[in-house]
Amino acid sequence: MIVHKPSILFALLLSCACNVDGLLLTELSRGNHRPMPDPAPQTVTGDVTGGEGASVGVLGADGKALAGVQATAASKGVFALTLPGDVGLANALVSARLGGKQWLALVPSLSPQSSVLAPPRLVHIDELSPGALHVDDVTTAMALLVVAKLRSMGQGLPGAAGSGVTDTLIELHKKILAADADPALLQVVAAVARVRSQAPASGAATEGSWDPGGAGSLLRAGLVAGHPIDLDGDGAADPTTAKFDALIAAALGAFTFKACYVPDRIRVVLQTRFVASGGKNANCDATFDPYLWTSKADGKAVFVTGGIHKDSQMCPGAAAATCLTQAQVDTANAALGNWMPNQVRMYDDGTHGDAAAGDGTWTLALELPYIEPAEGVPPVRIAYKFTYGKPAQGWTDSEEFPGNQRLLELVDVNGDRIVARFDPFADETTNKDKKNGNDQGCGEVHWVGLDKKGCSHDVRERKVDLDGDCVIDGWPNPGTAGPLAIPCPKGMP
Cβ-based burial of 377 (10 A; exposed 0-12, middle 13-18, buried ≥19) = middle
Return d(Cα 417, Cα 258) in angstroms, integer: 13
CB of 141 to Ca ion, least distance (A): 18
Of positions 177, 236, 297, 319, contacts Ca ion by CB under 5 A: 236
Count residues contacting Ca ion (CB under 5 A)? 19
Which of 1-9, 329-337, 349-357, 446-454 is the region at the interface with Ca ion (rule: CB under 5 A)? 349-357
- The answer to the question of residue 245 lying near Ca ion (CB under 5 A) is no
- The answer to the question of residue 230 lying near Ca ion (CB under 5 A) is yes
Return d(Cα 371, Cα 315) in angstroms, integer: 12
CB of 259 to Ca ion, least distance (A): 14
Return d(Cα 307, Cα 317) in angstroms, integer: 21
CB of 228 to Ca ion, least distance (A): 9
CB of 365 to Ca ion, least distance (A): 12
Strands 42-47 and 121-124, how do they pair? Answer: parallel
Task: Look at residues 431, 403, 427, 464 and name the one whose alpha carbon lies nearest to residue 286.
Answer: 427
Q: Rg of the Cα trace of the chain? A: 26
CB of 243 to Ca ion, least distance (A): 6
Strands 418-424 and 121-124, how do they pair? Answer: unpaired
> Could you say which residues in the range 390-449 bind Ca ion, by CB under 5 A?
412, 414, 416, 418
Q: Which is nearer to Ca ion, 370 or 447 (CB)?
A: 370
Binding mask 63-82 for Ca ion (x = CB under 5 A): --------------------
Q: Are residues 274 and 288 in contact, defined by beta-carbon separation less than 8 angstroms?
A: no
- The answer to the question of residue 197 lying near Ca ion (CB under 5 A) is no
Q: Which is nearer to Ca ion, 359 or 444 (CB)?
A: 359
- The answer to the question of residue 359 lying near Ca ion (CB under 5 A) is yes
DSSP notation for 333-383: HHHHBTT-TTSEE-B-SS-TT-SSTTSSEEEEEEEEE----BTTBPPPEEE
- The answer to the question of residue 469 lying near Ca ion (CB under 5 A) is yes
Which of 212-220, 249-257, 278-286, 360-368 is the region at the interface with Ca ion (rule: CB under 5 A)? 360-368
- The answer to the question of residue 284 lying near Ca ion (CB under 5 A) is no
- The answer to the question of residue 238 lying near Ca ion (CB under 5 A) is yes
> Residue 290: what are its φ and ψ, rounded to 5°?
-65, -15
β-partners of residue 79 are 46
The binding site for Ca ion (CB under 5 A) comprises: 230, 232, 234, 236, 238, 348, 354, 356, 359, 361, 412, 414, 416, 418, 465, 467, 469, 471, 473
